[in-house]
Amino acid sequence: MHSIKSYVILLLTVLVVNTLHAQTKIYYSDIDLFWKTFDSVHTVSDSATQVHLIQTMYLEKGTKGLKELARIRNWTPAKFRQSIFTHPGFWTSVRSNTLKVKAYTADFEKLIAAYKKLYPSFKTPDIYFMIGFIGTGGTTTETEVLIGTEIGAADSTTNSAGLHPFLQNYFKDNPGILQIVAHELSHTQHNGGDMEGRAHTNLLGACIAEGMCDFMAELLLQHPLSTPYMRYGREHEKEIWEKFRQQMHGTALKDWLYNGVDLGYFVGYAICKSYYEHAPDKAKAIDYMLHLDNEQLTELDKFLSDSGYMQKPK
């Protein structure tokens, strides 16, 4: 009896540990740390002291995720200082939105739970919310989602005067922090995380990689994505496809991705959605898309052919 009781206790302990290990770790502390630094910077007038404060109070004391994104994006305290004093209206107006992100914790957890239902092999990433200098909405590694909250939380109420027109338009139609996280989650399931042009692939492969993340986000959120490129893509699908098919085996991305228009996201999304709809086994289709090697160009062509998208009336 004693041995059975000991076994049960051990089993329960293992289950609890595994459950805790699988829980999503979400970090918001960098947001508060940034604003503490921001306020301190405004108490001194010497630029060298301001740069020193940003370095020692924020970049050095931040989370592992903050340090990782700073490394990936080459963040420096001088760049932060320049942004803070060049765009004071932006920073004042976006502050309250960034502080509201914590209220979405339950929603982020629901996204993770939904993903695990769709894809039981889902590897739960750590999610970090931090603040940059209006340079990136975020990226991923294989184990982390790294969100630039000042962009992710900005909206139509944010003062975007003097910012790049792309950001001004993005803020007006910002899909929201939940959709951003839903998109980025799929990048963590790829080998190498978010490649963003680092993979040795062609235009078709790059667009499939981004579009698959949008398609998965739509499944997770259970509603069509509402972004300018999605709306325009649905209305002009035929002409977009005709232009894309002529360029898809090339390596130039600038007309399709990361340019503010981002119609390549729509094309990749449409291809992945068509593949999923034609697949008899939906779970197997998701697994295949997540493991599609974008550097195997013949495999990309086969995926496009199997999707049935080329034959789809547009």
pLDDT in tens, 240-249: 999 999 999 9
pLDDT in tens, 47-73: 999 999 999 999 999 999 999 999 999
User: What confidence score (pLDDT) does residue 196 get?
Assistant: 63
Query: Is 50 exceeded by the pLDDT of residue 7?
Result: no
With a CB cutoff of 8 Å and minimum separation 6, the contacts of 196 are 139, 258
- H-assigned helices in 42-153: 47-53, 64-72, 77-86, 88-99, 105-118, 149-152
Q: Which is more confidently placed, 309 or 1?
A: 309
pLDDT band with cut points at 50, 70 and 90 for residue 273: very high
Beta carbons of 173 and 266 less than 8 angstroms apart: no
pLDDT in tens, 287-300: 999 999 999 999 99
User: What confidence score (pLDDT) does residue 302 get?
Assistant: 98
- What's the rounded Cα separation, in Å, for the pair 121 and 129? 25
Question: Which residues make beta-bridge pairs with 138?
Answer: 147
Mean pLDDT of 25-40: 99
Tell me which residue has tokens 């920073």: 91
Q: Which is more confidently placed, 175 or 242?
A: 242
Distance of CA 218 to the CA centre of its chain: 13
User: What confidence score (pLDDT) does residue 156 get?
Assistant: 96
Domain ranges of the chain: 26-187, 203-307
Buried b (16+ CB within 10 A) or exposed e, 89-109: ebbebbbebbeebeebeeebe
Residue type present at position 95:
R
Indicate yes or no: pTM above 0.85: yes
